[in-house]
Structure 1
Amino acid sequence: MKKQLSKILALGLSLTMFLTACGAGKTSTKTEETTTGAAVSESTTGTAEAGEVFVIGNPQPLTGVNAQVGESANMAAELAVKVINKEGGFNGVPIKLVNYDDQGSPEEAVKIANKMIQVDKVDAILGSLTSSNVLAAGGIYNEAKIPTIGTGNSPTWMQQGWEYVFRAGLNTALSMPHVTEKMLNLDVKKVAVFRGLDDAAKTSAETFIEEAKKAGIEVTTIESYTEGDTDFSGQVAKMINSKPDAVFCSTNGPTQAIFAKQLRQLGFNKLCFNREGIPVDTINVAGDAVNNWVFAYPYVVYSSVEEAKDPEMKEFLELYYQAYGVMPFHDCAYRSWDAMMVFWEASKIAGSNDKEAIKDAISKIKDFKSLGGMLDFTDGTREGLHTLNDYIIIDGKYLDFNEWIKAGNITKLAE
């Protein structure tokens, strides 16, 4: 990916010119309404014959509790389209990105899936970040033989055997055994679980509970919430009264900060483990309440470009910030970017934009550097990411959890 971005700059597309194309300082790229109700990105310049385009459907939650997350994912996807189209698109054919608001609703996801296939005649699908929506619509994409890269991280929709559906981000089934191993190493014998009821939160919690039981870790209580709830004092009281050594939390972003504050206010100061990365926005809202929260994840959400050490990540963040004047709100932006780059790489391997060729080419991608690490799709699972990093939040900063442990901080925490 670094070579791809560096090549763009080497070809004379300075950041200033690039930003002019993106519309610097805006929070989203300009779109126009079509008769289908979709928003179409204007990033379709390229070298193909007039009217020839590669259409990618992009259903994401743009209203509701995850609207900001969905918008961040859209912004990254549109940025990727501009980058790719400046390079000539897919084999000389420009990309047209068709954005839809799936509202985080499986019913809406099914409606949109049929519209994208029947009306928009999409060549590929990117999304949704809402796993329950991928689960609802994935079979439709697969039956239509549309190459799809979902951006949600639930295990469920990748267990359906859909050969046209892939993932370039994290499957939380990978992180749950990793988390329980960390707990064992830290002598955690009892854990309380707090979970949401959406597919991603529910299945992540179920996977964790299964792994914890295998490891001999007692699950003292399982407390649930409904999306939109703000008072968790009852659940927190039950969790604390069960006397756990740690808490495992499987929630969505908007809930994390509220739960963390209430958990700490009611006196639980031990380690908390999260099913996914905790974004900067949650840290800003929760403050000290998210200190000593741990997660295993491919990446973190940075508050500034300078914080990133990985060259590929830093380069992406520079492009994103200068295009929009803000940092990515959520790691779903990384997921959308990586998914688009996987499609681009597949088009190069295939040497064709035929949907079947693109699908087969994704399965040949190996040692491909993404924002989340090296991707390898050659094992037949249709999963590209197989590695994780361990983080802990201390004083609002992301630290390497393993280094933190080596420094003796667990002993200090216990004191």
Structure 2
Amino acid sequence: MKPPITLLKISFLLSLFLTLTTNAQVGIGTTDPEGILDIQSSNAGIVIPRVELLSTIDLLSVTNLKGGSPVKGTIVYDLGTYITEGFYYFDGLTWQNMVTPNTDTDTFLATTDQILTGNRNVNLAAFNLNFDVSDLGTNGLKIDTDYLELCRDAGNTGDGLIGTRGGLAFILDSNDNNSNDNEYFSWGEDGNPGQGTGDSGYNEYMRLDGTGLGIGTSSPDMKLHVVETTSNINVAKFESPEFPMFAGFIIEDTGGSNTARFAITPGNIANNSSGALSGVPAGNANGRNSVTFDVEGSIYDIYTFMEGTIRPGFDNLTSLGAPNHRFTDLFLVNAPTVTSDVRLKENITATNYGLETVMQIDAVSYELIDDETNRVHLGFKAQQIQELIPEIVTEAPETGRLGMAYTEMIPVLTKAIQDLNKKLDKLIEENESLKAENTALLSEVRD
């Protein structure tokens, strides 16, 4: 009986593609297999069994013909119904994804995207991990066992970009030809990767170099250099949570001279002056900690703050307040002391002001117009005093406001008391004389 025609065809086709050697090697598409299974084809591939795993721990969807779990090393292609589509192999416990599909055309570390499906550790084992920037072997990024180093190709110029995210850039180093002439750290926005400060769109906020820290400037010339170009914007703020924790700015001299310097130049203080407040070492501080402030360009307006003392830098050259820049209150434990040494005076004469002057002065009570408390004060009218005692009245050049030295009324009042006392002595003398005459008359009448 002849075999069916179909079976003959199949046998003939298998003979064309399948060769079984005496060494139990199987060749498909070749008569000379080079391994236990050698499949060769120029226009076809192997179709791995396609399954639908329920999960990576699914042990039922793929069966073991001899029973039990799948054989370790079993390979399938999952269609992606329940888990990520792709090739999977069974490691004896779970199904492991062999390759993650690559859907883009970018160039990565390997020929396809290296996408992690879980946490991974890279153990350097005392070795370095280097990423070269040229075929010369020059490191662009070096991961050592205890640091991350960003390098540049020898001979190139430019910046080293640490990272960008959300338009912010962190940049290290801008030297030429690897010379150590201009290293810095920069932080800004809109920097394109690899361009740094050379990019026209890069807006630098802060720079730290060998000179100092610059905020708002790329060329700091002091340890801290802050530049603000917007008008009426505060550039620094010191704040504490609550009393008695004070926010402050500490100026400390470590050179041993017990002095410190504070300078703002050029600039205005509270927009009141075109001069600048600056600090200079205090003279004659007697070894006490001190700091001195003055108006730059002036040799007069200098004040020194020492331990327990605030004093002008020069004797009898500075003022505290003015008729148009007044203090509200002055609180003291003791009465103020005014220098009155006769050795410091000249042209000393007796004053002509006295009782006659005082009798022309109106003593008044009043309220200040710009005082919302409506506090009642006692005093005099400066315009009247200016007419009677002009020496103790001061007029502000800017506003014409009048102020008077109340303590200098004391000599006038003293002179008035003396004048009054002379009149009293004269009246007493006249009274005693009249009493004597009256006694004599009474004696004559009795006789």
What's the TM-score, normalizing by structure 1? Answer: 0.19
What's the TM-score, normalizing by structure 2? Answer: 0.18
Greater strand content: 2
Greater helix content: 1
